[in-house]
Structure 1
Amino acid sequence: MNDAMSVRTELPGQTDAGNAGMIVVFDGKGGVTGVGGLDSEHIMPQRGFMLISGNSRSPAFKVWLNKFVGPFNADLLTVPNTRSRCTVADDRAMVVMRVVRPGAEPHDIGRQLLTMRIERGQVIVASELNIPELLGVGQWQQTQHAPVSPADLVARLALRASDRIEPLVEALGNRLDDIEEQLLFDNDARVQTRLAQLRRDLISFRRLIWPQRDVLTTLEVEDISFFSGRDRMRLREASARSARLGDELQTLSERAVLVHEQILDQRSEQMNRNMLVLAAVTVVFMPLTLITGALGMNVEGIPFAAAPWAFAAVSGALVAIAAVLVWWMRGRRWL
């Protein structure tokens, strides 16, 4: 790699979706020595490295990648991928992660791909995301706390991606708390609909988090010569952050299952109570129906058929029988 590279000068932080790309040069000691476009010149410090970022949909950036890394590698960086992965070959790593887009909501976590080519002295990132803004390059220029190696830069990218997900995971937890609280007072179809939507959101988040953890773990354990012990520690820290979020999502999923089981138990209990009431009504009215059916037969010999007080007496007897049956079932705790 040459010490000087030709890139078009731009002001820091001006890169957006429409520009070809940006180069950021790090001195390897925590400082940023240069920020510019793809056509201006920068001097690479002896221990330094550079970040090359651009919009994966920008034709200009694709043309630049074809010249800089070749058509095959340019396609690997810019062709959309369906899943997160980490591939290591020839002392280089190709990493694909899915990052939550800015302003995403828990029920609509639009994902954006972040594809990186990591090698000694440089990291190339192709994404629709504004990478310098995501990383906070402008702040690093002032604080002198920039990454000191390519692996450190990748770890910080993963941590920034986790920072975007964490408040969304917290929002999912708050939604589950609201559902549990609402179940104490009301168990209608709206609660069940909200719970079903929440469980779908949790599944989507888990599909986003767990592969990212696996990608970072794979990158940490691979035999890449320019990764130091500190680099692997930083990658392990980023992987642990993703794992913690994944564990929190797993806990929320288990709580959601328990809430769902609680809803089913309440519904089953209510159904059993209704069936018990119907059975009690049947037990009470069965002897009454037998008596009234017998007295209602249109045959000779019905007792008290001509007595004017017979109807009142039979009605009173039926009420007494019903009261005795209800008292008996309550005594046996059937009601």
Structure 2
Amino acid sequence: MPPLGNIVEGSVASAIEQGIPSSIAVHFGGEFYSHVHGFWPSGRAVEPSDPFYAASLAKQITGAAVACLVRDGRLAAGARASDILTEDRAWLGAITIGHLLHHTGGLPAAGVLEAMCSATRWTDELVFERLRQMPRLIDPGLEHNYSNAGYVVLARVVERISGLLFAEFVRQAILDPLGLGEMCVSARSGHPQSEQWGLLGPVLPLSRGDGGIWTTARAFVTWLQSQNSNELGLESLVTTDTTLRDGSPVGYGWGLGLRTFAGTRAYIHGGGWPGASAKIIRSPSLDLALVGLAAGPQAQSIQAVVDALYARLAGDAAPHGVGGMAQMS
């Protein structure tokens, strides 16, 4: 096999249009390689230290935050969310933490609430306002509907149980122990400083739990590899699948898509918002972790790069199917 750097460079050259701001990082077989591409609107070249909006890649951080509380005996996956967020008991009903994690709570699918947004900022408060106004269409456990709103609810659960703001809990429980200084949770426009803020469309994504993560590619691949090596002791929780009431498996863990290819387990997720696209794939058995982040109108092309890299490195067809630009996720 050619050197890792040559494989990455070749995949980028064949899939990303010149100039699109993007950043890729790969850990494979003990080797690490990162690549940046393109220019920001100011004309400045993208640098490895530039943060990107990670969109729905944030869900695995939220899942890990919940897992930290479960690991420490402070929360149970079977607990009803309404027993924690008592002010929202009326609409939460019998939805459990597990339902929210696996997208089986009967909440609106990704894109439904967002399509109703007439504001210029998509915030936690707006999500809860919409949820309080909309009747739940199906009972929990009947269907798997990928829902951004459920992860906003989970972030609030983490705050209520921990007594800390979600960003602070994530920093203390996950980012600081792993040395991830180039990753943060933000619900404030312009923080962290990034030219991508000006590319994120007419509605700024400021909600947490379903999104809110800003990161460099090299920080996020470090996060992925820390999960591969189970540094926080969360792997058995976050990779747990569930079944619907009819017994059919969901194929989604705690913020992660669960896939098997040629007998090899892989965990995947994508994410997107107008002006942002991201994708990850990791496989502990292959010692493989890769992430692609991109900005601008053609950002979605980064998804094909990650697929191509996985196919080349794993020697199998790349997985598809969780998150993406079809919905603002």
Q: TM-score, normalised by structure 1?
A: 0.27
Q: TM-score, normalised by structure 2?
A: 0.27
Flag the structure with larger Rg.
1
Higher relative contact order (CA 8 A, sep 6+): 2
